[in-house]
Amino acid sequence: MPELPEVETVRRTLEKLIVGQKIMDVRMRYPKIVQTDVETFQKTLKGQVIHTIERQGKHLILLLDHDALIIHLRMEGRFFYHPSHHPLTKHDHLVFELSSGYNLIYHDTRKFGTMHLYDLKDYKNQPPLVHVGPEPKDIEVSQFISHVQKRKTEIKAILLDQHAISGLGNIYVDETLFRARIHPTRLGSSLSDQEIKTIVFQAQDVLEEATLQGGTTIRTFEPMDGVHGRFQQELAVHTHVGKPCPICHTPIIKIKVKGRGTYVCPTCQH
């Protein structure tokens, strides 16, 4: 699943390829990806220029002449950028025909990805973005502390839920909690101010390092632009079941938290 650093890598790659181009037409082969009325979607996009690409949490936002196209890749969504004569495959669901003669193709084997189209004036006040909290680097720490301490839910679940803090998925929550030395099943209400501050700072570091390295599992974009995530090599606990903890050498264990595979050092994390 692409996480924030991977989505940021996709954003930067797309920015180089498609900004400044006009959308000549949109072909929809699996319209359920689109959450806006399909006919309006197609008609509205046609003829608009892509001016910038922003990101909020794991949402990509294409800012056009009059509208904002908000894309979430979910589990397996990815983009291809091919000349228009390039043959399409089974899982190529949407084709944006661009003024350069290239197609931007949305490919998704699981079909969980979503696209919303809103007027530029109020896309931030509409779902999904209205429900997306600030990223760790932008968060108001005192507000976040009081939010967490009110919750009788595992800290891992609070961090994965994108309302109070956004951009942390399964991999980076495990790495953040390991660095903060906090056990993922601790309840929000049990955490001290200092522990929550440590979580926020470690989350900032983890995401920043991962973004610098292009993320962890880059399958989100075809490697035509040389995008390879290198953060994989930096992971301390995630997927490391049975391997020694880099700090105390205790074997890392795997548990489930709210159904998600979770990797923990049973000695370092309390």
Say whether 197 sits in a helix, a strand or coil: helix
User: Which residue number is nearest to Zn ion in terms of Cβ?
Assistant: 245
With binding defined as CB under 5 A, does residue 49 bind Zn ion? Answer: no
Binding segment (CB under 5 A) for Zn ion, from list 19-27, 50-58, 101-109, 262-270: 262-270
Closer Cβ to Zn ion, 177 or 245, answer by number: 245
Given the residues 6, 8, 58, 175, the one annotated as active site: 58
d(CA 86, CA 158): 44
DSSP summary character for residue 122: T
Binding segment (CB under 5 A) for Zn ion, from list 6-14, 153-161, 188-196, 260-268: 260-268
Among 136, 131, 129, residue whose Cα is nearest residue 63: 129
Establish whether 87 is a catalytic residue.
no
Closer Cβ to Zn ion, 75 or 248, answer by number: 248
Q: How many residues lie near Zn ion (CB under 5 A)? A: 7
Establish whether 260 is a catalytic residue.
yes
Task: In angstroms, give the least distance from the CB of 246 to Zn ion.
Answer: 8
Closer Cβ to Zn ion, 49 or 247, answer by number: 247
d(CA 185, CA 39): 46
* Neighbour tally for 114: CB within 10 Å: 17
Question: Which helix or strand (DSSP H or E) is residue 154 part of?
Answer: none
With binding defined as CB under 5 A, does residue 148 bind Zn ion? Answer: no
Closer Cβ to Zn ion, 7 or 252, answer by number: 252
- Alpha-carbon separation of residue 173 from 58, 78, 128, 161 (angstroms): 14, 23, 21, 11
Closer Cβ to Zn ion, 216 or 269, answer by number: 269
Task: In angstroms, give the least distance from the CB of 186 to Zn ion.
Answer: 16
* Neighbour tally for 152: CB within 10 Å: 8
Establish whether 31 is a catalytic residue.
no
* Neighbour tally for 43: CB within 10 Å: 11
With binding defined as CB under 5 A, does residue 265 bind Zn ion? Answer: yes
Say whether 46 sits in a helix, a strand or coil: coil
Tell me the residue type at 103. N
Establish whether 78 is a catalytic residue.
no
Task: In angstroms, give the least distance from the CB of 176 to Zn ion.
Answer: 15
Mask 229-258, x = binds Zn ion (CB under 5 A)?
A: ----------------x-xx-x--------
User: Euclidean distance between the first and final Cα of the chain, in Å?
Assistant: 27
As to burial, measured by CB atoms within 10 angstroms (0-12 exposed, 13-18 middle, 19+ buried), residue 249 is exposed
Footprint on this chain of Zn ion (rule: CB under 5 A) = 245, 247-248, 250, 265, 267-268
Q: Annotated catalytic sites, by residue?
A: 2-3, 58, 260
